[in-house]
Amino acid sequence: MIQLLRVDHRLLHGQVAVSWVQGLNSNCVFCVGDKIANDSVWKTTLKLGKPAGCKLVIKDMQHAIEAINSGVTDKYRMIISVQTIAEAKQLVEGCPQIKSINLGNTKASPTTKEVARQIYLEPEEFDMIRELIDKGVEVEVRALADDPKIDARSFL
């Protein structure tokens, strides 16, 4: 069961490993992305951050979509972590059972606008979020599991 789809450029770190895994009683963190699935340094780093008693799965986008849609992941209480809003959108489009996206931490750049604490959006990401919301997907901001949700519509 997918408990959370989180956008966080760091993927797996203290907020996810402690707050989210414990807060949701998750037993699997599924890190998805073409870049990370093919980068041995990223994979090693993610393995170091894996919470005890929690499975870590790392897959590229195509194989992640196939795994989710096949039902093989249904046995887990799973947090999916991606680095970008574009990856989250791609995952939602490939897996219609995903109905919510958590924005946890996105990178700042000279072209981004800060819309919430630790959330920086590129101009095209505003359009992606609008499109997702128009399709009925909840897009919310929360750094920690116990934080109140901030609806993304509030900054569009």
Model pLDDT for residues 68-77, shown as the tens digit of each residue: 999 999 999 9
What pLDDT, on a 0 to 100 scale, did the predictor assign at position 17? 80
SS3 66: helix
Q: Please spell the DSSP secondary structure of 4-49, one letter per residue.
A: EEEEETT-SSHIIIIIIHHHHT-SEEEEE-HHHHT-HHHHHHHHHT
CA 50/CA 17 separation, integer angstroms: 7
What pLDDT, on a 0 to 100 scale, did the predictor assign at position 94? 98
- To which H or E segment does residue 64 belong? helix 61-70
36-64 pLDDT tens trace? 999 999 999 999 989 889 999 999 999 99
Please say if the pLDDT value at position 66 is more than 90: yes
What pLDDT, on a 0 to 100 scale, did the predictor assign at position 15? 79
Which domains does the chain carry?
A: 2-155 (3.40.35.10)
The set of residues, in sequence order, having a beta carbon less than 8 Å from that of 25 and lying 6+ positions away, is 77
What pLDDT, on a 0 to 100 scale, did the predictor assign at position 90? 98
107-120 pLDDT tens trace? 999 999 999 989 99
83 contacts 36 by C-beta, under 8 angstroms: yes
Task: Report the predicted TM-score, pTM, of the whole model to 2 decimal places.
Answer: 0.95
Q: Please spell the DSSP secondary structure of 96-128, one letter per residue.
A: TT--EEEEEE----TT-EEEETTEEE-HHHHHH
- Eight-state DSSP code of residue 95: -
What pLDDT, on a 0 to 100 scale, did the predictor assign at position 18? 81
Share of the chain above pLDDT 90, in %: 89
79-104 pLDDT tens trace? 999 999 999 999 999 999 999 999 99
CA 107/CA 129 separation, integer angstroms: 16
